[in-house]
Structure 1
Amino acid sequence: MTDRPETGHAPVHAARYFDGAQVRVGTVVAGADGIRLLPTRAPDGSPHLDGLVTGLFTDHHVHLQLVDHTLLAGSRLGAVADLGAELGWISDLAAGAAVQNSGKNPATHPTTPETAPEPAVSPESWTQISYAGPFLTAVGGYPSDRDWAPAGAVRQLADPDDAARAVDDLTASGVSFLKVVGNSDAGPVLDDELMRALARLAAEHRVPLVAHAEGPGQAQRVARLGATRLAHAPFSEHLTDDEIAEQAATVSWISTMAIHEGEALEVVTDNVRRFFAAGGELVYGSDMGNGPTPVDLRGAEIDALRTAGIDGLDLLTALAPADPLLSAAPLLLLPDDDPNRSRLLTTADLEY
């Protein structure tokens, strides 16, 4: 006789798991209500789960209005930060409303019609969405002249009063960040007075100021004027070691390395390697929607981070996984501790 379920699945497995800070030993339990991770050790003799368990990952830079956002359900992403979309659209999506994407990036999403996720996808697998709303840019600045930018996804600021109205509107609408643009390679940029005003307003409203910095000197300029995070690891030029040290002390970077190639990729890889070695905070971001990016974890971005020397626990930390001990939370299994091989943990993984 045996008290094991007739399904052929062992109810308890010993498992290694990453809690966001370190690898620990716990227990994976399969029951009628799904799979749970417990922080206690499994009973002696329990089978061992082959791989590392953790929560769903975070992508800190996406543009959901340019992709088939319904594919997020059931993906390996538990949270995303949208850094440029029409405010009403993205706030509706974050609240769970059914919305259509803009269709302006055909290279990124298929031509099939928007559909709801398959009923088999549980509500818990829906990705949490935080957002900035529109790009805040100079009059005529990037990306106001780009065909891919959805209507309402760019707000052009002429002076500090304009900036104050914009920040009041956005923070009253529940944004989690402000996204400003300093792209001198593609047009006018917000002047120093406007950038300082936006930094002050962001601090007053207790929201991070995330800056797209592109062009010579722009990464240092936006950091000096009060940006708290760069939307892209700097790729326009090699920063000096002193500049890297200043950046590491004042701002965090979102990686977005795999959107580059050639010289820009070499530059961003060098900057990231030295920034991280200097103690800078680097988080994973794919710039989802910029070209043919997956609506999921992007393997090329993981590879780029590894090339820059970020691997192991450092890589897992940059991916900012959800707490795997949360009840009913979806779990990921990472064979050989490799994020690129990660997949949703299912009862099939618990077969004897």
Structure 2
Amino acid sequence: MTGAPLGRPGDGGTWLPPLVDAHVHLGLVDPVAVRRGGIAVVHDLGWVPDVARRWPGTPGFPEVAFAGAFLTAPGGYPSDRSWAPTGSVEEVATPDEAVAAVDRQVAAGASFVKVALHSDAGPVPDDVTLAALVGHAHARGRDVVAHVEGQGMAARAFEAGVDRFAHAPFSEHLRDDLLRAMARPRASARPRPDSPRPDAEHDPARRRTRPGGRKEPDNDPHVVFGGAGVSWVSTLDVHGWGSPRAEQGVAVDNVRRFVALGGTVVYGTDLGNGPLPLGVNPRELRALAAAGLDAHDLVAALTRDAPAGRRTPARAPHVETGRRNAALATWVPGDPPDPDDPDDVAAWLARAVVVERDRATDPAPGQEFPDADPDPDEPGTDPDPDPEG
């Protein structure tokens, strides 16, 4: 792939789609600094819903999609963590409670739902409650992100139909046959958002496909994690913050084998959890490169969840939000990197600048930035670091 373009070159730099950090706790960091550091879109994976709902559209912030509260078993992770403020955790003990909790997150504007399956830190939802949570989220048109930690939790989440892991699994080396199943696209359709909620929604949903994007009857935009059976957020650097612990080695090994089997891994840092850079994290990118991702793959991992219309030029699929025209884009000044040098690629991406759409659509002559597809339907640092976040 030597010499292959990583983006659309402009006058003195390169245009890219918006860069996305798919695992952030925005309430623990300075959102303005995150955007200044080159991140245009964040997925907030757990906070107080009434606070999170005010973030999207705030001037100077990245674009925000959020999960709302962590859904967990009574007494489960992270209900006992000092960094989790009152209202950021909902404990669910029964299927009915899980269904009601999902509905509350959707009512708050959540783009997806997060469930905690951390068996090393306390109780986790039982099988029936987890199935009800996942099934009802899907019936409401929301994908499910899971924190999986502890022996067997990754397999259990996958069997329950979870769409994305908040971390590349790091507490066990996953079997190749399990990785192969996780990497396979799902083959049967998800229920329509407006369909009634039958008992069958408790059925594991891991064979469904994901349409490219859709809206609820209430027209709330939300993210759809398209593509593979279950995608992973990387969060490799959080295991040591530059001084890798054993968990990072396990996670890198899992990522290497998962990607080799066709699995999807997106860039995410668990920002807010310890001393992580506010913006693009070159250590995270170098760890992904160590797991076998080449320069194109790194750009794809950073842009796969970019809003529709800002598609990565490097063969990667994308995720659509309900919003068709991205307001932000990315400009990387200077010459493109040597694509065969991971350090050079990481340092180059760390120079990224978030640019407003009106500036991004006026690049150098003859170097058109890729415009949105037409849509016929529309005219800091955690003071109490916790590697399990």
Q: TM-score, normalised by structure 1?
A: 0.74
The answer for the alignment partner of 1:308 in structure 2 is 291
The answer for the alignment partner of 1:255 in structure 2 is 234
Is 1:324–1:331's contact at 8 Å kept on the other side of the alignment? Answer: no
**Alpha-carbon distance, 1:17 to partner:** 6.9
- Aligned pair in 2 of structure 1 residues 136, 225: CA closer, same or farther (>3 Å)? same
- Aligned pair in 2 of structure 1 residues 345, 263: CA closer, same or farther (>3 Å)? closer
The letter of the residue matching 1:275 is: F
Verify: 1:78 aligned to 2:40, yes or no. yes
- Aligned pair in 2 of structure 1 residues 147, 209: CA closer, same or farther (>3 Å)? same
The letter of the residue matching 2:353 is: L
Stretch of structure 1 that moved more, 208-217 or 290-299: 290-299
1:278-329 deviations in Å (ceiling 9; x for gaps): 0011100000011111221111111110110112111101101562897984
1:200-231 deviations in Å (ceiling 9; x for gaps): 10110111110000000100111111111111
Verify: 1:205 aligned to 2:135, yes or no. no
The 2-side partners of 1:345 and 1:219 are apart by 34
SS class of match (1:319): helix
SS class of match (1:333): strand
The answer for the alignment partner of 1:344 in structure 2 is 353
Is 1:74–1:126's contact at 8 Å kept on the other side of the alignment? Answer: no
SS class of match (1:232): coil
The 1-side partners of 2:329 and 2:263 are apart by 30
Is 2:35–2:354's contact at 8 Å kept on the other side of the alignment? Answer: no
One of 151, 160, 163 as aligned partner of 2:86 = 151
1:8-39 deviations in Å (ceiling 9; x for gaps): xxxxxxxx975xxxx456xx4xxxxxxxxxxx
The letter of the residue matching 2:50 is: G
The answer for the alignment partner of 1:58 in structure 2 is 20
SS class of match (1:93): coil
Verify: 1:175 aligned to 2:110, yes or no. yes
Verify: 1:186 aligned to 2:121, yes or no. yes
**Alpha-carbon distance, 1:56 to partner:** 2.9
What is the correspondence of 1:15-30 to structure 2 with a 5 Å cutoff? Answer: 23=7, 28=10
The answer for the alignment partner of 1:106 in structure 2 is none
SS class of match (1:238): coil
The 2-side partners of 1:248 and 1:71 are apart by 35
Is 2:38–2:354's contact at 8 Å kept on the other side of the alignment? Answer: no
The answer for the alignment partner of 1:67 in structure 2 is 29
- Aligned pair in 2 of structure 1 residues 220, 328: CA closer, same or farther (>3 Å)? closer
What is the correspondence of 1:23-172 to structure 2 with a 5 Å cutoff? Answer: 23=7, 28=10, 49-96=11-58, 126-172=61-107
1:70-124 deviations in Å (ceiling 9; x for gaps): 313433111000000000111112242xxxxxxxxxxxxxxxxxxxxxxxxxx5x
- Aligned pair in 2 of structure 1 residues 162, 299: CA closer, same or farther (>3 Å)? same
SS class of match (2:42): strand
- Higher Cα Rg: structure 1 or 2? 1
The answer for the alignment partner of 2:274 in structure 1 is 291
Is 1:269–1:307's contact at 8 Å kept on the other side of the alignment? Answer: yes
The answer for the alignment partner of 2:251 in structure 1 is 268
RMSD (Å), alpha carbons: 2.5
- Aligned pair in 2 of structure 1 residues 276, 70: CA closer, same or farther (>3 Å)? same
Is 1:248–1:275's contact at 8 Å kept on the other side of the alignment? Answer: yes
The letter of the residue matching 2:330 is: L
- Aligned pair in 2 of structure 1 residues 313, 143: CA closer, same or farther (>3 Å)? same
**Alpha-carbon distance, 1:147 to partner:** 0.8
The 2-side partners of 1:191 and 1:238 are apart by 23
The 2-side partners of 1:186 and 1:329 are apart by 39
Q: TM-score, normalised by structure 2?
A: 0.67
One of 147, 152, 159 as aligned partner of 1:217 = 152
Contiguous gaps of at least 5 residues in structure 1: 1-15, 29-48, 97-122
**Percent of pairs with identical residues:** 41
Is 1:17–1:54's contact at 8 Å kept on the other side of the alignment? Answer: no
The answer for the alignment partner of 1:111 in structure 2 is none
Is 1:59–1:319's contact at 8 Å kept on the other side of the alignment? Answer: yes
The 2-side partners of 1:129 and 1:180 are apart by 19
**Alpha-carbon distance, 1:160 to partner:** 0.9
1:222-266 deviations in Å (ceiling 9; x for gaps): 111111111111001101111110121221111111111322111
Contiguous gaps of at least 5 residues in structure 2: 185-228, 313-324, 338-344, 365-389
**Alpha-carbon distance, 1:340 to partner:** 2.9
1:25-77 deviations in Å (ceiling 9; x for gaps): 6xx4xxxxxxxxxxxxxxxxxxxx45532133000000011112231343311
Is 2:57–2:63's contact at 8 Å kept on the other side of the alignment? Answer: no
- Across the two proteins, how many residue pairs are aligned to each other? 281
**Alpha-carbon distance, 1:339 to partner:** 4.4
SS class of match (1:288): coil
The 1-side partners of 2:118 and 2:13 are apart by 43
